[in-house]
Every structure is written in structure tokens, then in C-alpha cells.
Amino acid sequence: MSAPAPMAGEPRVSDEGAAALLAPGLTPEDAARSADRARVHLARNRRRRWFLLWLLIGPGILAMLGENDGPSMISYATTGATYGLGFFLPFIVVTFAMAVICQEMCMRIGAVTHRGFSQLLTQRFGPVWGWLTAGDLVFTNLVTLVAEFVAIRVGMRYFGLGPEVAAALGVVLVLLALSGRRYWRWERIVLGLAIFNCLFLVAALLEGPDWGRVGHAFATFSPFPAGGLNTLLLLLSSTIGATVTPWMVFFQQSASADKGLTPRDLAQGRIDTIAGAVFAAAFGCGALIAGAALASHAHGELPDLVGFPAALRRSAGGAVATLFALGLIEAGAVAVLTISASTGYAIGEVLGRASSFNNSARGAALFYGSNVVVAAIAAGVILIPGAPLLSIALNANVLATVLLPVTLVFVIMLASDRELMGRFANGRLTNTLAGLIVAFVSLCSAAYGVDSFLQTVHVIG
């Protein structure tokens, strides 16, 4: 384990002059990160708490709002359209509470060890596990990225724009975000886009929901959804996969290390993670409430994915539909940026190559290239005639749920390793809660898989 990144001795170091003032032998990546740490050092010494928080937030909010991606928001809206306001509305809040526990461990590991998830996993458990988890992530991310481009395509279609525009938009955004050659700039670009995830909540407010029913759902977790067991298990798995996924683990730990967080920043890192969960839960509930507008108009038949915004226009009005379509574009775009980044981190770290936004494209060619290539591949898939895009979009969250438990087990093992984490290792309560989350996620995904298999072989109806 390396020592923490050194803080600049002179708090008035500027971003531009940091490289010239730092000791010889430090890389441009070190210089860029030290400039950011100088600002943190200055804010902490002057007790500028809100400015300090502003400097340190980012990875947690991006992980949570990045998970409020296109497939997730469509999943929430479809659940609302299918069952109305009931059990799944407060269940969204429960799953984001689960996400806080998981993601806080990732942030803490990154801040204490200064290692990304793939890098630390490879060093601690060997290259075989590093390659397996990174390989799983790349596969899952490719599937999820296709689903993100589908969401962008659905949003664009509402405004009369074709799939070529959706594909180009996603790839261009990745290129623009990478052009800053600084983690700080990349983070602020994506945070600026992520703000617009609030469009789903605005759409729900414009719709004018029955607040009595909303309150009843949160107070009682009812009405419990009626219907087939397989559908219920699918929606449970999909909702979990819309909240906690493997890419979030890779992203937040690696981004926390890339940002240069240290153990002194853990309090702000926790605020960042909790705030991200609160925003994401509120906006996710907004998507479900907006989708519930269709529950009383569907007459037993819900629109397919492509027709969702148009159906909202007929049932809730043009303003709600427009905001929902714009929200899908935003959700897909932010997820493309963050999921591509998690792919670049995983590939670069497992191969032992430079993997930081603070490096130049030449200095971290594999990292930058992975960001662009994985997004370009996903963009190309949505242009293939006859590709099963709707099936991919609807099942991406379920796939993430199936692969999540193994990743979480490794997170718990790393966060509990006292040789690695010292006094910042997990306590008994955190390990108990994390273990219950792994058991719950495993049970839901296994139950759905077994029930689907039994139905396929006609053992049950």
C-alpha cells in the first residue's frame, strides 16, 4: 500500500503553477492531483466548510445519479404504470439505503488505500480474480451501455430525431468530457449534466399526484402488488439492479482514488454518498409517480418502451411527456459517461496501466481508449437493423443483479481487512448490514432464476 498523496505545503498554489512548484520526479498526474489537494488544504485550514464540501463531493453523487440511468428510470416508470402507487415506491428508498452502505465502503477503501477496485483486487487476491471481475464488469457494462443508448434513442425519438443522432450524441459527450485532461474537469462536466435528473421529479409534480396515496404507500408499503410470482420477482430484481450494480463499485472506489481523497476526507465522502442517494431516490420515485399516470389509462395494455413518452403525453399532458423524454436523454447520457469511465478504470487497473483522468491521452492511452471504444461499440449496436434493443434494455438491470453478489463479497472482504484498512476497517454493524444485503440480493436473483426455469420446463404454470 502506497503512502497517501502528499499535500502541497503552500496553500496558494494555483492549478497552472502546481507542476512547476512540485518536487522533481512527480508525474503530471501527481501535479494535477496535488493542485486539487492544495485547494482542499486551504479550505480546511480556513474552516470554509461548505467550500470544502464542494471541493470533495463528486464520486458519490455521480455513482448514485449515474445509476438513475435510462433503463432504471424506465423500469421505475413501468412499475408505476403496472401497479400504480404502492409497495415499489418506498422500496426504491430502501434499495438506495442499501446502496449507501455498499458505496460508503467503496469510498472508504479508495480514500484509505488510494487504489481502484480492480487494482486492489488484483494485488490482494491475485490476477485471476482481478481478471474475472474485470471481465464480468466489461461484459455487463457493454450490455448496460447499449441500454443507455436505447434510452437516449427513445428520448430523441419523441422529438423526431433518429437513432444516428442518439448514437452520435453519446460518443461526442464522451469525447468532450475526456478533453479536459483533469479528473476535476471531467467530474464537474458530468455533475452539470446529472443535475437534470431532477426532470423526472418535476414531471411527477406537474402531473399532480394523489399525495394521500403517496403518503399511504410510504407509511404502509401497500398495496402490495398483485399478479404472478415471476413478474413480481422480475420487478424486485430489476428494482435492485436499478439501484446497486457492479459498475458503481468499480467507479466510486476508483474515482475516489483518482480524485485524491484521503482518510481526512471520509466525513465529506459520506455526505457525498448519502446526498447522492437522497437525490437519486427522490428522482427515482418521481419516475415511478410519473409512470403511474398510465395505470388508470392503460386498460390492461401498457405501451412498449419506445411508445412510453407518447403514452404519457396522452394521459398526463405534453409538459410531463416532454420532461420525461428529456430526462431519458439526460439519464442515458450521464450513465454513458460514468459507465464508460468505470470500464476504463477496470481495464487499466487490471493491466497495471495508467488509469486516471489526470493523465494525458498519450500517457493513459488504454484508459482513454477504453472509455471511447466501449461507448462506440454500444452506439454501433443500436444502429444494427433488427437488434433486440428492447429486450436488452429491459433485462440489463436483472443481469446486474445476478452479477452483483460476488462483487459485494469482495468489497466486504477488502473493507474488513484490518491489515489493509487499519482503524478504518468495517465494524461489526457494517459487516452485518452488508452481509444481509448480499443475502437479500442473492435470494431475489436466485428465486427469479429458479422460477423462470421451472416455468420454462413447464413444472409450474
pLDDT range class, residue 434, cuts 50, 70, 90: very high
Tens of pLDDT, residues 62-75: 999 998 988 889 88
pLDDT range class, residue 29, cuts 50, 70, 90: confident
The lowest-confidence range among 7-11, 113-117, 239-243, 421-425 is 7-11
Instruction: Summarize the confidence of residues 232-254 as an average pLDDT.
Output: 83
The lowest-confidence range among 62-71, 165-174, 228-237, 449-458 is 449-458
- Whose grid coordinates read 399526484? 209
Residue 10: the pLDDT is 33
Residue 19: the pLDDT is 42
pLDDT range class, residue 101, cuts 50, 70, 90: very high
Burial letters for 53-76: b for 16+ Cβ neighbours within 10 Å, e otherwise?
bebbbbbbbbbbbbbbbbbbbbbb
- Taking residue 264's Cβ as centre, other Cβ atoms within 10 Å add up to 14
The lowest-confidence range among 52-66, 132-146, 311-325, 438-452 is 438-452
User: Which triple of cell numbers denotes residue 78?
Assistant: 413501468
pLDDT surpassing 90 at residue 107: yes
pLDDT surpassing 50 at residue 15: no
User: Which triple of cell numbers denotes residue 77?
Assistant: 416508470
Which structural domains are found in the chain, ordered by start?
57-420+427-456 (1.20.1740.10)
Tens of pLDDT, residues 394-408: 677 777 777 788 899
Instruction: Summarize the confidence of residues 254-277 as an average pLDDT.
Output: 96
Residue predicted with more confidence, 50 or 70: 50
With beta carbons less than 8 A apart as the criterion, state whether 129 and 292 touch.
no
* Average model confidence (pLDDT) across the chain: 86
C-alpha to C-alpha distance for 332 and 73, rounded to whole angstroms = 10
Residue predicted with more confidence, 51 or 81: 51
- Taking residue 429's Cβ as centre, other Cβ atoms within 10 Å add up to 9
Percent over 70 (pLDDT), the chain? 88
pLDDT surpassing 90 at residue 263: yes
Instruction: Summarize the confidence of residues 1-22 as an average pLDDT.
Output: 41
Give the range with max mean pLDDT: 23-37, 111-125, 299-313.
111-125
